[in-house]
């Protein structure tokens, strides 16, 4: 491992100063992704700036129904928070689906949003990768791409975003709060926080050097909304998504969809908000034919590769099953009308 220095930041300004002092420095929170990348030689910082002592470790439930989740809130605390479980169960389900209990006890909200792709070529420093080493090429396009992206990709990169939590937050219209390096504050909708690869896949978010995520704000869910997070993976225990979905649905008395939000994981370089499908479904009863048409509209611009084209059909099935379960009167409901029973482990 490359030698590095370590510094613990005492306040946000000190954190920015330490990162921008001319060394090749990176922020360190839980380290559940960064340390792995350092071991692989993908990340090679000369200095780590520990930000875990900064005052961003609280979950603030507000009177209007919104919530502010501090960037240093541990995933275990987030998934177990009673207010999150009751009012935003899709988020709790997504965090629980994302990692083991040990990892959840270390991983942070801000770090989860910034975790890097699990594309095998990004993690293998002996292989060309435009995300890791711009201009060298994308090994995945002609290589092992079964688990990689089918939409939002480019000729330079087909990697997928690995976060479960971010998919749920995308469906919940999350807003990322950022402290800029100069001290100003900025709020960015999650839908604009991540960048599609285009010709610059090495740039994944709007963050500039020294910028620090301070929290994530979730607005109140729609009146009467029910929601879920569902994940298809190759094995039940802690595998990354082949395809996942976060769905938020509010219906009219007659069964038509007053509001629907759909976000997909495992299919794109970013948490993919399925706005074409949402538009096709809003105001209508979700019949099988309409759900099929909505999925086809969403993936009309898809660019699948030979071994991952199956993801398009799988995503369509997941959209249909999730909307069906959320709009079927016999579906199970949580304490505030939100669907999705917790497993024994999730109940704690």
Domain with 323, as residue range(s), is 226-341
The tokens of 54 are what? 């900064």
User: CA-to-CA distance for 174 and 217, rounded, in angstroms?
Assistant: 6
Same domain, 263 and 308: yes
pTM listed for this prediction: 0.93
Please provide residue 58's backbone torsions phi and psi, each rounded to the nearest 5 degrees: -120, 150
Residue 141 in any domain: the answer is no
Length of the chain equals: 348
User: CA-to-CA distance for 305 and 303, rounded, in angstroms?
Assistant: 7
Torsion of CA 286, 288, 292, 294, to 10 degrees: -10
The tokens of 233 are what? 């993976």
Residue 159 in any domain: the answer is no
Q: Residue 73 contacts by C-beta under 8 Å, 6 or more apart in sequence?
A: 56, 57, 58, 59, 108, 109
Q: How far is CA 196 from CA 149, 225, 332, in A?
A: 11, 30, 37
Name the helix (H) or strand (E) containing 214.
strand 212-218
Name the helix (H) or strand (E) containing 96.
helix 89-98
Same domain, 69 and 207: yes
Check residue 118 and report its DSSP letter. -
User: Could you tell me whether strands 212-218 and 5-8 are parallel, antiparallel, or unpaired per DSSP bridges?
Assistant: unpaired
Same domain, 211 and 331: no
The structural domain count of the chain equals: 3
Please provide residue 249's backbone torsions phi and psi, each rounded to the nearest 5 degrees: -135, 135
Q: What is the pLDDT along the chain (348 residues), one digit of tens a residue?
A: 689 999 999 999 999 999 998 789 999 999 999 999 999 999 999 999 999 999 999 999 999 999 999 999 999 999 999 999 999 999 999 999 988 888 899 999 999 999 999 999 999 999 999 999 999 999 999 999 999 999 999 999 999 999 999 999 999 999 999 999 999 999 999 999 999 999 999 999 999 999 999 999 999 999 999 999 999 999 887 789 999 999 999 999 999 999 999 999 999 999 999 999 999 999 999 999 999 999 999 999 999 999 999 999 999 999 999 999 999 875 444 333 343 433 333 333
Residue 172 in any domain: the answer is yes
The tokens of 214 are what? 């301070």
Same domain, 10 and 98: no
Please give the angle made by the CA atoms of 206, 279 and 272, to the nearest 5 degrees.
35
CATH code, domain carrying 295:
3.30.390.50
């Amino acid at each position: 491992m490359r030698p590095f220095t370590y510094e613990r930041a005492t306040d946000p300004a000190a954190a920015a100063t330490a990162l921008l002092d001319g060394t090749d420095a990176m922020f360190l929170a839980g380290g559940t992704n960064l340390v792995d990348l350092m071991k692989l030689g993908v990340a090679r910082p000369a200095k780590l700036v520990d930000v875990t002592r900064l005052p961003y470790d609280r979950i603030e439930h507000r009177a209007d129904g919104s919530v502010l989740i501090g960037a240093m809130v541990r995933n275990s605390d987030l998934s177990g928070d009673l207010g999150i479980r009751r009012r935003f169960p899709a988020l709790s389900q997504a965090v629980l689906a994302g990692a083991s209990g040990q990892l959840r006890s270390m991983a942070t909200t801000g770090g989860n949003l910034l975790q890097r792709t699990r594309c095998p070529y990004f993690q293998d420093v002996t292989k060309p990768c435009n995300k890791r080493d711009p201009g060298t090429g994308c090994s995945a396009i002609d290589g092992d791409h079964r688990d990689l992206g089918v939409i939002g990709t480019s000729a330079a990169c087909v990697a997928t975003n690995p976060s479960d939590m971010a998919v749920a937050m995308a469906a919940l219209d999350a807003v990322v709060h950022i402290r800029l390096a100069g001290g100003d504050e900025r709020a960015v909708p999650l839908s604009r926080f991540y960048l599609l690869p285009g010709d610059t896949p090495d740039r994944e978010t709007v963050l500039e050097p020294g910028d620090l995520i301070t929290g994530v704000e979730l607005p109140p869910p729609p009146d009467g909304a029910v929601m879920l997070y569902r994940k298809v993976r190759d094995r039940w225990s802690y595998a990354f998504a082949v395809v996942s979905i976060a769905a938020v649905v509010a219906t009219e008395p007659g069964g038509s969809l007053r509001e629907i939000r759909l976000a997909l994981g495992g299919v794109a370089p970013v948490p993919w908000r399925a706005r074409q499908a949402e538009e096709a479904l809003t105001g209508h009863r979700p019949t099988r034919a309409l759900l099929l048409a909505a999925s086809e509209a969403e993936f009309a611009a898809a660019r699948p590769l030979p071994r991952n084209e199956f993801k398009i059909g799988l995503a369509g099935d997941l959209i249909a099953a999730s909307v069906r379960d959320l709009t079927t009167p016999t579906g199970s409901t949580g304490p505030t009308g939100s669907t999705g029973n917790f497993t024994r482990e999730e109940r704690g």
